[in-house]
Each structure stands twice: as structure tokens, then as C-alpha cells.
């Protein structure tokens, strides 16, 4: 009897991780625009790059194609779901056991000071239930965990930059 063949699905965007990061920012999954561009947060309507500069987490504005430059500022990037892309409601979030374990293992291995989910959806799916934005009581090892409001243009109605500013203030205090 033949063994079943399991296809290995490549990551849509490669993780941007290394040791001694201040922050790892984690989305739910790459958007369709980001997948096509091969760069994180590439949709022109997304406020991600603007808020990173506005909060002074990065000293100069960057464009999506410059995402690798975030490492110079102690910031890494990943997504909860690495093998699919699209809007949050298009991602097979019911199959998150492996992504949760993968993310936890990455954070435990690289040990950033902070892990911040860049949407309430990503944070809630990671924790498996309803959560508010802000600092969370749980940690992954010594890594503090935050849930931030989505920077997506599709989430403009729930945009709260003050939470991003509070997060940046905490990062500066602890790093």
C-alpha cells in the first residue's frame, strides 16, 4: 500500500526574525496585495508603515519593499497563518493548531521582548477567544504579548492609533 503524499505548501511571506529583537509584529496572514508584492503590509490603504514611524518605533518612514530594514530597528515580522493569504474572513482560521504552535515555538526560540498582534483577529485566534486590544496577561517565556488594532484599510472603523502609541511607549520603557 502506498504511503499518502503530503504536499508542503510554501510560506506566502518568509518570516523576518532573528535573535535579540525588541518586537515581533504578527498579522493574521498576508493580504492579497502583500502576497503579490512579496512584501509585508503592501496595500496602499494600510496604515502599518505610517504608524511605525508616527510612534517612533522606526526613525524614518519605510515603504513595504523595505520591510527587511526593520531588523536594523529591532523589529521582526511574521503572520499567524503562513501558507494562505487574503482578507481575515478568507483565511482557514479553523485550522490554527499548527500555526499557534509554530508561532509559539518561533517566539520561544528568538525571545523578543514583545510579540504584538497587528489585529484583534490575529490575537483572538492565537488565544482562542475574545480579547481586547492592549497588553495581555499571558507571556511566551519572557516575551510580553500585546494585541493592537488593525492597520488595514478594511478596519478603518475600529482604528485606534492611541493603542499603538501606548504600545510604543511600553517598548521604549522595557528595551
**0.85 exceeded by the pTM?**
yes
pLDDT for residue 134? 97
- The mean per-residue pLDDT over the stretch 132-148 comes to 96
Q: What DSSP designation does 2 have?
A: P
* 3 is a domain residue: no
Percentage of residues in the chain with pLDDT exceeding 70? Answer: 86
Q: Specify if 89 maps to a domain.
A: yes
Residue 168 lies in a domain: yes
Annotate 118-147 with DSSP letters as a single string. SSHHHHHHHHTS---SEEEEEEETTEEEEE
Q: Is residue 10 part of a domain?
A: no
C-alpha–C-alpha distance, residues 47 and 41, integer Å: 8
pLDDT for residue 101: 85
Q: Which residue has the cell 511607549?
A: 169
pLDDT tens for residues 38-75?
Answer: 999 999 999 999 999 999 999 999 999 999 999 999 99
Domain-located, residue 68: yes
pLDDT at 10 over 60: yes
Domains held by the chain: number: 1
| Mean of all residue pLDDT scores within the chain | 88
Q: Are 79 and 31 in contact (CB under 8 A)?
A: no
Say whether pLDDT at 29 is over 70.
Answer: yes
Confidence at residue 149, expressed as pLDDT on a 0 to 100 scale: 96
Residue 138: CB atoms within 10 A of its CB come to 10
Q: What is the pLDDT of residue 156?
A: 83
Q: Give domain status of residue 16, yes or no.
A: no
Q: Beta-carbon neighbour count of residue 80 at 10 Å?
A: 23
Confirm if 113 and 124 have CB atoms less than 8 A apart. no
Residue 99 counted as domain residue: yes
Structural domain span for residue 85: 23-174
Q: Is the pLDDT of residue 169 over 80?
A: yes
Residue 131 lies in a domain: yes
pLDDT top residue among 100 and 143: 143
Distance between CA 142 and CA 112 in Å, rounded?
A: 8
Q: What is the pLDDT of residue 166?
A: 98
Cβ(79)–Cβ(69) under 8 Å?
Answer: no
State how far the alpha carbon of 72 is from the alpha carbons of 26, 148, 150, in Å.
18, 22, 24
CATH of the domain at 87: 3.40.470.10
Amino acid at each position: 500500500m502506498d504511503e499518502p503524499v503530503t504536499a508542503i505548501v510554501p510560506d506566502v511571506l518568509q518570516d523576518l526574525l532573528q535573535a535579540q529583537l525588541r518586537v515581533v509584529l504578527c498579522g493574521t496572514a498576508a493580504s492579497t496585495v502583500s502576497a503579490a508584492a512579496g512584501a509585508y503590509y503592501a496595500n496602499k490603504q494600510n496604515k502599518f508603515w505610517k504608524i511605525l514611524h508616527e510612534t517612533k518605533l522606526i526613525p524614518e518612514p519605510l515603504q513595504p519593499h523595505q520591510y527587511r530594514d526593520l531588523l536594523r530597528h529591532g523589529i521582526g515580522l511574521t503572520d499567524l497563518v503562513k501558507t494562505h493569504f487574503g482578507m481575515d474572513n478568507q483565511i482557514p482560521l479553523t485550522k490554527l493548531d499548527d500555526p499557534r504552535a509554530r508561532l509559539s515555538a518561533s517566539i520561544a526560540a528568538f525571545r523578543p521582548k514583545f510579540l504584538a498582534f497587528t489585529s484583534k483577529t490575529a490575537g483572538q485566534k492565537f488565544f482562542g477567544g475574545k480579547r481586547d486590544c492592549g497588553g495581555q496577561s499571558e507571556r511566551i517565556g519572557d516575551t510580553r504579548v500585546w494585541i493592537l488594532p488593525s492597520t488595514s484599510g478594511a478596519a478603518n472603523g475600529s482604528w485606534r492609533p492611541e493603542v499603538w502609541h501606548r504600545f510604543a511607549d511600553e517598548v521604549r520603557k522595557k528595551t
